[in-house]
Amino acid sequence: MLTQHSQVSFYTELYTRIPEDNTLRIIQDHLDFSFINNLLKNSYSLYYGRPSKEPEMMVKLLILKKFY
């Protein structure tokens, strides 16, 4: 008998334990941060220096810092 195994990461398991009414989960579900990358794309060089961290991720980290 073959059983199909789904790949579950440690983080997936943690995410399922976050309550539905958690503030950060509500923010993630209701706000689309994808506009930030497009808004700031002219602020970073595509050809010189090291690649920047994704601006969307940096804004999310700032929000996380503000809450905690």
State the CB neighbour count (10 A cutoff) for residue 44: 13
Distances, alpha carbon 48 to alpha carbons 36, 41, 45, 52, 59, in Å: 21, 14, 6, 11, 23
The domain segmentation of the chain, as residue ranges, is 20-67
Spatial CB neighbours of 19, under 8 Å, sequence gap ≥ 6? 25
Q: Evaluate whether 67 touches 23 at the Cβ level (below 8 Å).
A: yes
Q: What is the pLDDT of residues 28-53, one digit of tens each?
A: 889 999 899 889 888 887 788 776 77
Percentage of residues of the chain with pLDDT beyond 70: 87
Q: In which band, very low, low, confident or very high, does the pLDDT at 1 lie, cut at 50, 70 and 90?
A: very low
Ramachandran angles phi, psi of 28, nearest 5°: -60, -40
Q: What pLDDT sits at residue 3? A: 52
